[in-house]
Structure 1
């Protein structure tokens, strides 16, 4: 699947803004795109005033404090580790960056490639470089990969805060500070919106390759299974590449448009935005109109509003997660991490952005 241009440019912008400037060739290798493609993206972002070009170098146009604040001595660094090609978490990074730069902290951005265990060597490198604290969003494509990281994360001797990651109850990381979106509530918003419009048969299609995706699957299963006004529902992978931890039942791997037809469903909730936009395209190609024949709610709201039909979407507070996580980390760095310090596990509520992809059904079930 080809990455949408706007999504790729968001990654370029996030990478440059996270460090202030970068060499074009280094950035192309890091983001796994050709130098020609990257130069074209940089030219467009420069034309929009979002980046500034130099000879072989690209610079952020965002202001950077010339002098750190008094309470943050020169050289204070916070390392931020996020997965590559993850625009959702890049928005979280922007939120954290605002808070940390206002506090005079320097950010060292580390982008983890799509391989298991990629975060550990980046964290080791950051600590060797003098990082005093960590903001972390490990990819954790499967529960086994997640559990494998618990040992070294629990042994960290610097303050660390997880972003959009919530360790298993009772695990070695259960007492680690974390800031997350309440994805159960986000699923609830989507279901209640569609049920309120008269939809009684709904397909839920999510990814299954991250903690957020697995939380959403569990939430939709619980909410739909107990909802008194839903007649039929089913869950499936949002794309064949969306899950790695099966096995899955045959209907769970079925093409979503086909499953909608078999179930007689009039609505779908689709995670993530890119998968939702592609499924909406396939529905249109098969003659199913959105929203006339099928209402669609996307989950993430990074690109949902850019479709031919802008998609109604659940919008987790991505930037706010980063801001709150950075504020919590600063408290730790300022000396609030004593023996009696209270660990914080913060949940922030998503919002529903209603656009043109949902509407009332023609006939409501009694």
Structure 2
């Protein structure tokens, strides 16, 4: 029989007082509840000063410990929990955001999150990973240690989703967490987290559809490997199949070992030249804008005219409009992704005490296609 939230929290409190401290993941298994449900209980109990939160664990409050000495996170959470959620104020809350960089693509994501956080009276702090292995967890721990009440998290997953044995720690964090521009497959622990991301597969398919409307029947996808690539490839291949297009020539097999950026760029240039001159390709979706802008003059030097021989649509739309011949581009809703993720997290924080077992949300925002002549 399902226990009432008060009974469940009373049992948590009893176990913590008896043992002094306990890891959150172990406690969830022992009680037979999900880590997400337990984290909400912990938020509410910490807000009342009944327990102390630590990274991945909770501990009892020392006897005689004054409520004013309870962590700032608990105090702020208590204030907003009483005020309710639904877009209301979140004064005093600190939102931690872990991203690879605040440049290029993520500049707008961070800007959207910051505006949404500050509009609710909260504060955003940022940790940068520079795509370094293991740095995402290090930055998450750092933000938690400095008082973050919740996390917006973009892990360093090479394909945009966790690889084998990777990423389970994101579901064990002791505060509400929202994945940003990342996803996890069903069955992975991180799949139970809230997430907000761009539907890159839809964006790629929309580009293919537009090129078909312009009369193209053999369309290539080109660009270096990024966390976006897998979803772009899935959408591109689905559109080629659904529209009955002739497949583009396959990419040549990669040699042993990873390729440098320069090698990958040269490989992309060779592929497109061969695809046009011998493979019948007349259009391409190129990821990203900067690669496309660098590729076009090199293609023309090798006798491939753009757009006469090869029509190009780029993906990201960061600088496509600033090319000497402005390029049509697919633009993920980066600013809105950051804003939606922040709002979702603040809603979780503001209603942590009252919103028991509320459904998680997976929001996919559709990119826009901008046509430039």
Matched, 1:209 2:229: no
Partners in 1 of 2:366 and 2:159 — Cα distance?
25
**Could you say what secondary structure the match of 1:331 adopts?**
helix
Matched, 1:314 2:330: yes
Q: How many residues are aligned here?
A: 279
**Could you say what secondary structure the match of 2:278 adopts?**
helix
Partners in 1 of 2:123 and 2:364 — Cα distance?
26
C-alpha displacement of 1:227: 2.3
| 1:326 alignment counterpart | 342
| 1:121 alignment counterpart | 138
Q: Decide whether the 8 Å contact of 1:79 with 1:108 is kept in 2.
A: yes
The Cα offsets for residues 315-363 of structure 1, whole Å up to 9 and x where unpaired, read as 111111111111101101101573321100011111110013xxxxxxx
Partners in 2 of 1:156 and 1:220 — Cα distance?
35
| 2:307 alignment counterpart | 291
Q: Decide whether the 8 Å contact of 2:223 with 2:287 is kept in 1.
A: yes
Partners in 2 of 1:180 and 1:329 — Cα distance?
14
Matched, 1:172 2:189: yes
Unaligned 5+ residue runs, structure 1? 1-68, 245-250, 357-366
Partners in 1 of 2:146 and 2:286 — Cα distance?
41
Pairwise CA RMSD: 2.8
Correspondence 1:224-303 to 2 at 5 A: 224-228=240-244, 230-234=245-249, 236=251, 241=260, 254-303=270-319
Aligned partner (choices 202, 227, 232) of residue 185 of structure 1: 202
Q: Decide whether the 8 Å contact of 1:159 with 1:329 is kept in 2.
A: yes
Q: Decide whether the 8 Å contact of 2:200 with 2:231 is kept in 1.
A: yes
Q: Decide whether the 8 Å contact of 1:224 with 1:233 is kept in 2.
A: no
| 2:117 alignment counterpart | 100
Task: State TM-score, norm by structure 1.
Answer: 0.70
The Cα offsets for residues 173-231 of structure 1, whole Å up to 9 and x where unpaired, read as 11100011112211121011111111111111133231x21111122122213422x23
Partners in 2 of 1:340 and 1:160 — Cα distance?
15
Partners in 1 of 2:105 and 2:271 — Cα distance?
25
Matched, 1:196 2:218: no
Q: Decide whether the 8 Å contact of 1:260 with 1:266 is kept in 2.
A: yes
Structure of greater Rg: 2
Task: State TM-score, norm by structure 2.
Answer: 0.68
> Which has the higher relative contact order, 1 or 2, with Cα contacts under 8 A spaced 6 or more apart?
2
| 1:218 alignment counterpart | 234
Distance 1:243 1:290, change over 3 A: closer
Q: Decide whether the 8 Å contact of 2:168 with 2:188 is kept in 1.
A: no
C-alpha displacement of 1:144: 8.7
Partners in 1 of 2:276 and 2:150 — Cα distance?
47
